Structure formats: structure tokens, C-alpha cells
Amino acid sequence: MIIKHLCLNHFKKFLRAAVYSFVAAGLSFFGFIHAASIGFPTSFDTINPVSIGYVCFGLVMLFFHYYKEPSEKETKKVATTE
């Protein structure tokens, strides 16, 4: 019961993880983290590959945020009146 509560309420914060990943991608892109110098990349070759990894991770987290398992989808039943 406790593990189910943790999984449903604490481990499924994919949107928050995506936002943090995109912020980290921006910081890495400009060199504030994971780089030897701060600045705007002048060519495609000078883009920090870590920032690309952060963007890819953020996209995966967005997918998991919006993805619904078939068991999680609401099934709408049409009520029949007789």
C-alpha cells in the first residue's frame, strides 16, 4: 500500500523533471555548467553535447507525462435508458 502510494504520487512527476532538464539544457548551452568557458556557441561544432542530452531527456519526460496507459485512461460508458 505504501509503495503504491509512493509510485502514484511521488515518482510520477515527469513534468517537473522535464522543466528542470530544459533549464539545465539552457545553462549547459551557454556554458554555465559542464563547460570550460561561458558564452554563446559560435558554430554547430562548439555546442556542448551535454545540452543536447538534456533536451532529449526533457522530451522523453514530456512523453511520459502525457502518455496514459490503457488502464489509466477513462472509459466513458454510455448510459442506456430504457
State the pLDDT at residue 9: 62
Contact indicator for 65, 20 with CB cutoff of 8 Å: no
Sequence ranges of the domains in the chain:
13-82
41-61: per-residue pLDDT in tens? 877 777 888 999 999 999 999
d(CA 28, CA 75): 43
Higher pLDDT, residue 35 or 32: 32
Cell matching residue 20:
528542470
Given 3-state DSSP classes, what are the helix, strand and coil percentages for the chain, each rounded to the nearest 5? 55, 0, 45
Cell matching residue 51:
545540452
State the pLDDT at residue 21: 94
Task: Classify 31 in phi/psi space as left (phi over 0), alpha (psi -120 to 50) or beta.
Answer: left
Mean per-residue pLDDT over the chain, rounded: 79
Is the pLDDT score of 35 beyond 90?
A: no
d(CA 48, CA 82): 66
State the pLDDT at residue 38: 84
